[in-house]
Amino acid sequence: MLQNTGKLAGYTIFITGASRGIGKAIALKAARDGANVVIAAKTADPHPKLPGTIYTAAAEIEAAGGKALPCIVDVRDEKQINNAVGKAVEKFGGIDILVNNASAINLTGTLETPMKKIDLMLGINLRGTYLTSKLCIPHLLKSKNPHILNLSPPLNLNPIWFKNHTAYTMAKYGMSMCVLGMAEEFKGSIAVNALWPKTAIQTAAMDMLGGSGIDKQCRKVEIVADAAYAIFKQPTSFTGQFVIDEDILRKEGIRDFDVYAVEPGHPLLPDFFLDQQPEDLARQMKEHGATPAFKSGKTSTDSASTGPVSDMFNIIRGVLSPDIVKTTQGVYRFDLSGDHAGVWYIDLKNDAGSAGSGEPPVKADVIMTLDSSDFIKMFEGKLKPTMAFMSGKLKIKGDMGLAIKLEKMMAMMKSKL
């Protein structure tokens, strides 16, 4: 691993999304030099599914040798960012480095992506990065070696990285376009660069996308933290670069990358937006025991856009009506396992109803977990939800009454099959 040199002692680093994952790893790396770290993140209270808060991260940073300033920040909120920047300058005297790490991800196609999700991704990834940079730049210009580092990919314009999740790619590439523009705008004054991992990194987001078994195909967050540290050591003339973590660490003399692996010696999964095809990523994940929750783009059962579950949802959309919505008033999420694993939803609560792949546009009232083959049997009328539940084939979290109401839609669908 890359050794600390003390280079960042006394520097103030403002990091968005630093309560966990890559953001926290970068914070801890800097803290070991004696840096001041501003933890700008949303999680003030413990999350039921995700580890860490801004306060637990602050305690770890202090224990590592740094000084911490935890700030509740939603990067979509200009006032919250302004307040955090003001507190940072008041406590530490300025800002030397900005790390735009906060990000949102939703890997669904155009028809399946609710506008709420699009607004979230554009608001955090693109607008949040631009806004946080804008508010920090006046203070960065006063630093002796200022840096902006965005956790975003190279601008790979191969259509394969757009076709399955156009909204996410637009939002993530927005962060990269900030690098392209601001590096030129502030050339000679501020180093503005992007950093992206060569392989998948074990984070909460990766666990969500890959499911159980994905961790052994990943590297640890420390490799990204070491790469960020290597960038911060560079002068401001090092700017406009789209850096891959392994590449810059090789230039730093690192040769043993097994130390970064979750399971040394195990084949690693390449990250998105590089040269590996999406369908190859999905295949490799499955070969080594993971279940990808994103579309590979391949016309096979690996893809949520085709197959029996997708066909069933085409039929479901055909029977949706205001009457069903009025009498049901429930939002359903289906977590499917087996040959056609994935997350799907039926919204029988809003407008004329909707159905598709991915998370529902609003919070689900009922979450049903079952094998994809049993899901198909239920909607073909061959297996009632109540019987599936009693036999243990179906797990239900939420309103049991809504699960029974769903049988009305299933009865209507018999004539369509």
Mind telling me the catalytic residues?
168
Please enumerate in sequence order all residues whose Cβ is within 8 A of that of 14, keeping only pairs 6 or more positions apart, or say none.
Answer: 38, 40, 84, 85, 88, 95, 97, 98, 99, 132, 136
**Cα–Cα distance measured from residue 78 to residue 179, given in angstroms and rounded to the nearest whole number:** 20
d(CA 337, CA 109): 20
Tokens of 99: 């790390």
Tell me the C-alpha distance between 14 and 37, whole Å: 6
Radius of gyration for the alpha carbons in the chain, expressed in angstroms and rounded: 23
Other C-beta atoms closer than 10 Å to the C-beta of 284 total 18
> What type of residue is 191?
A
Q: Phi/psi at 147 (nearest 5 deg)?
A: -135, 145
Q: What sign results for the dihedral spanned by CA atoms 44, 46, 50, 55?
A: positive
Q: How far is it, in rounded angstroms, from Cα 332 to Cα 389?
A: 15
